[in-house]
C-alpha cells in the first residue's frame, strides 16, 4: 500500500488510529507493507509532531519515502515536496526487490523437449510443451533470482528481462549450454524431457523412401542431469522423474544415481499429470528419502511449490 501524498494530518491519523475516512480504514486493515510519501510545507516537515509521527510509523513497520527539496504549495521553497512519482516508483521497486528471498541467486533451468536429427528434415522428439520449466523460470524470476532458461524447441516465450532464454535443439546442445553456466549457478532445475537416444548417424541428405523398411540405429545421449550431479559443489540440484511403475522406488534410485538434492516425481498413472497438460500432480522426494505427495494443481502453482523448496533450502 502506498499513501502519496501523505499530509501531516493523515500521518497523525495513521499514528493515532483516527479512523474517520476510507484511507485510514484501509490503512488500519492493511496486511501488506505500507509505504508513505510525506508532502507538506517545509516548517511542518521539521515540526517535532511530524518527526514523532515518522518515528512511530517506522516502529509500526511502515516505510517512509522521504520528501524532496523544491517549490512548495505555499510559494516557499525547501524540504517537504512529495518525492517525484518516478522516484517513488523507483524507491518501491528497489525496496521490494531487495527483500525478495532469492535476490542475488542464479538459477539454471532446463525446459522442453530435444529434437534429435535423423536427416535434414526429420527428427526424433517428444510431446513436452516446456510449460513446467517456463513456469518455474517465471516464478524464480518473481522471487528475485537471475535465471538462465535453457529450452529445447517450444512455442513458449518469456517477457521477463531477468530471464536469459537460451534456445537449443538437441540433447548435445542442451548439455553444452548447461555445462557453460553450471559452475556459476546456485541452483539447477532440470525439467527438460531430454531424448535418451539419438540416431547414431545423421543422414546428410533427406532419406528417400526407397526401401520397404527402414531401421535407424540409435545411441544414448549424454545424461545432462547426471553429469551435473557428478561435478556439483555448492549447487542445489533438482531433477524430474517420469515413471509409470514402482514410482517411488525408481525415483529414489535416480536421486542416488544422479546425486540429486531433490526429485520431482511425475507419475503418468495420475490423472491430469504429464505432457501437454495445464495441471500436474507431483511428489517431492528429498535426498534423505522424505516423500511428500502434493495435490493435483495448475503448473503455475506447482512451480510455486518447487521454488518454495529452493527458498527453504536457503532458510535452513
**Considering only 80-88, 188-196, 278-286, 301-309, which stretch makes contact with ligand CTP by CB under 6 A?**
188-196
Q: Does residue 169 contact residue 150 with C-beta atoms inside 8 Å? A: no
**Interaction between residue 240 and ligand CTP (CB under 6 A):** yes
How far apart are alpha carbons 202 and 51 in whole angstroms? 75
Of these, 23, 92, 202, 242, which contacts ligand CTP (CB under 6 A)? 242
| Least separation in angstroms between CB 105 and ligand CTP | 20
Residue 196 makes contact with ligand CTP by CB under 6 A: yes
Per CB under 6 A, contacts with ligand CTP among 92-151 are 110
User: Which of 221, 235, 280, 283 contacts ligand CTP by CB under 6 A?
Assistant: 221
CB of 228 to ligand CTP, least distance (A): 8
Smaller CB separation from ligand CTP, 38 or 239: 239
Active-site residue identified among 21, 87, 126, 259: 126
- Write the burial class of residue 60 (CB in 10 Å: 0-12 exposed, 13-18 middle, 19+ buried): exposed
For position 72 contacting ligand CTP by CB under 6 A, the verdict is no
266 an active-site residue?
no
Q: How far is the CB of 158 from ligand CTP (least distance, A)?
A: 19
* HEC profile of the chain: CEEEEECHHHHHHHHHCCCCCHHHHHHHHCCCCCEEEECCCHHHHHCHHHHHHHHHHHHHCCEECCCEEEECCCCCEEEEECCCHHHHHHHHHHHHHHCCCCCCCEEEEEECECCEECCCCCEECCCCCCHHHHHHHHHHHHCCCEEEEEECCCCCCCCCCCEEEEECCCHHHHHHHHHHHHHHCCEEEECCECCCEEECCCCCCCCCCCCCCCCCCEEECCCHHHHHHHHCCCCEEEEEEEECCCHHHHHHHHHHHCCCCEEEEEECCCCCCCCCCCEECEEEEECCCCEEECCCEEHHHHHHHHHHHHHHHHHC
Minimal distance in Å, beta carbon 194 to ligand CTP?
4
Closer residue to ligand CTP in complex, CB, 43/173: 173
Task: Kindly tell me which of 218 and 242 has the beta carbon lying closer to ligand CTP.
Answer: 242
Is 225 an interacting residue with respect to ligand CTP (CB under 6 A)? yes
Kindly state whether residue 192 participates in binding ligand CTP, applying the rule CB under 6 A. Answer: yes
* 57 or 171: CB nearest ligand CTP: 171
Which of 190, 237, 255, 302 touches ligand CTP by CB under 6 A? 190
| 105 versus 254: smaller Cβ distance to ligand CTP | 254
Return the number of the residue (81 or 299) whose C-beta is nearest ligand CTP: 299
- Residues binding ligand CTP (CB under 6 A): 110, 171, 190, 192, 194, 196, 221, 223-225, 239-242, 254
Catalytic positions are: 126
Amino acid at each position: 500500500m502506498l499513501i502519496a501524498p501523505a499530509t501531516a494530518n493523515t500521518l497523525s491519523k495513521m499514528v493515532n488510529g483516527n479512523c474517520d475516512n476510507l484511507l485510514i480504514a484501509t490503512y488500519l486493515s492493511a496486511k501488506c507493507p505500507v509505504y508513505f510519501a510525506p508532502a507538506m510545507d517545509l516548517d511542518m516537515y521539521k515540526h517535532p509532531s511530524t518527526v514523532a509521527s515518522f518515528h512511530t510509523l517506522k516502529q509500526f513497520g511502515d516505510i517512509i519515502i522521504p520528501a524532496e527539496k523544491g517549490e512548495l504549495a505555499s510559494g516557499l521553497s525547501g524540504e517537504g515536496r512529495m518525492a517525484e512519482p518516478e522516484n517513488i516508483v523507483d524507491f518501491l521497486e528497489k525496496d521490494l526487490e531487495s527483500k525478495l528471498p532469492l535476490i542475488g541467486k542464479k538459477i539454471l533451468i532446463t525446459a522442453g523437449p530435444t529434437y534429435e536429427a535423423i536427416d535434414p528434415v526429420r527428427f526424433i522428439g517428444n510431446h513436452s510443451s516446456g510449460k513446467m520449466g517456463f513456469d518455474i523460470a517465471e516464478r524464480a524470476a518473481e522471487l528475485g533470482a537471475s535465471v538462465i532458461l535453457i529450452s529445447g524447441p517450444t512455442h513458449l516465450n518469456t517477457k521477463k528481462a531477468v530471464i536469459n532464454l537460451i534456445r537449443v535443439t538437441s540433447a548435445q546442445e542442451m548439455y553444452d549450454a548447461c555445462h557453460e553456466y553450471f559452475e556459476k549457478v546456485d541452483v539447477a532445475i532440470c525439467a527438460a524431457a531430454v531424448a535418451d537416444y539419438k540416431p547414431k548417424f545423421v543422414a546428410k541428405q533427406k532419406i528417400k523412401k526407397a526401401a520397404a523398411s527402414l531401421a535407424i540405429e540409435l545411441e544414448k545421449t549424454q545424461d545432462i542431469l547426471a553429469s551435473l550431479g557428478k561435478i556439483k559443489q555448492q549447487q542445489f540440484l533438482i531433477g524430474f522423474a517420469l515413471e509409470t511403475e514402482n514410482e517411488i522406488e525408481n525415483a529414489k534410485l535416480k536421486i542416488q544415481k544422479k546425486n540429486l538434492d531433490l526429485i520431482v516425481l511425475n507419475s503418468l498413472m495420475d490423472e491430469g499429470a504429464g505432457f501437454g497438460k495445464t495441471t500436474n500432480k507431483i511428489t517431492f522426494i528429498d535426498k534423505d528419502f522424505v516423500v511428500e505427495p502434493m495435490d493435483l494443481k495448475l503448473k503455475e502453482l506447482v512451480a510455486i511449490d518447487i521454488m518454495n523448496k529452493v527458498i527453504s533450502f536457503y532458510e535452513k
